[in-house]
Amino acid sequence: DGGITQSPKYLFRKEGQNVTLSCEQNLNHDAMYWYRQDPGQGLRLIYYSQIVNDFQKGDIAEGYSVSREKKESFPLTVTSAQKNPTAFYLCASSIRAGGDEQFFGPGTRLTVL
Amino acid sequence: AQSVAQPEDQVNVAEGNPLTVKCTYSVSGNPYLFWYVQYPNRGLQFLLKYITGDNLVKGSYGFEAEFNKSQTSFHLKKPSALVSDSALYFCASRFSAYNNNDMRFGAGTRLTVKP
């Protein structure tokens, strides 16, 4: 899992609550990403950031929010507006925007009770 | 629209036999192609990539993949499978050298290597 850490590993949320997933990297990468993984599906992009203080919506951004105040940190908040938040969430980073491979964290499994 | 397909949900091979995990892509232009492996409840690990150059790409853990432009394929191969290769494999592609939002992942292929 390289130099990317995600916490917590497991997270349980009651309906109506917002929760924040942590993602930290010490690889000095400019770009960071959040993906959602559901069984039998590939990864889907939630948000991405090419540089500090900048981020863009991915394919399924509704009900999620992010911030990028520091190069090494890219936290994801799952809001109560996300209708089906139970999933495995993966954070990734790459050296820069472009055709480089992405390095993934170990993931956070979120379950809504 | 650009897309990646992994036509097999499941691949079963015997230990010591060669393995192939298939991937095809649909794009106009030149894609960047990747293979990742995922073990249970873990993140994805990068195996190899094709950007340009030699069509046969060698990666981690003895894996290799062949880029075939005429067949729009990028199949993952290994000459001799190990039980420890059992995992979920994802093919991915992107089509721009500048954007971060165009990485597309296949649905994944579960590889089971039996002793």
B83 SS3 class: helix
Task: Name the residue with higher pLDDT: B26 or A71.
Answer: A71
How many residue pairs from chains A and B have C-beta atoms closer than 8 A? Answer: 70
Mean pLDDT of A75-91: 93
Q: Tell me, what's the pLDDT at B57? A: 96
Check CB contact under 8 Å for A45 and B103: yes
Mean pLDDT of A7-30: 93
Q: How far apart are CA A84 and CA A31, in angstroms?
A: 27
Burial of A69 (0-12, 13-18, 19+ CB in 10 A): exposed
Whether the CB-CB separation of B67 and B74 falls below 8 Å is answered with yes
Q: Which residues of B touch A33 (CB under 8 A)?
A: 100, 103
pLDDT in tens, B79-89: 999 999 999 99
Q: Tell me, what's the pLDDT at B100? A: 65
Q: What are phi and psi of B79, to 5 degrees?
A: -65, -35
Between A44, A97, A107, which is nearest B100 by CB? A97
Q: Tell me, what's the pLDDT at B30? A: 78
Nearest CA in chain A to B91: A42
Q: Which residues of B touch A92 (CB under 8 A)?
A: 43-44
Check CB contact under 8 Å for B43 and A97: no
How many residues appear in chain A? 113
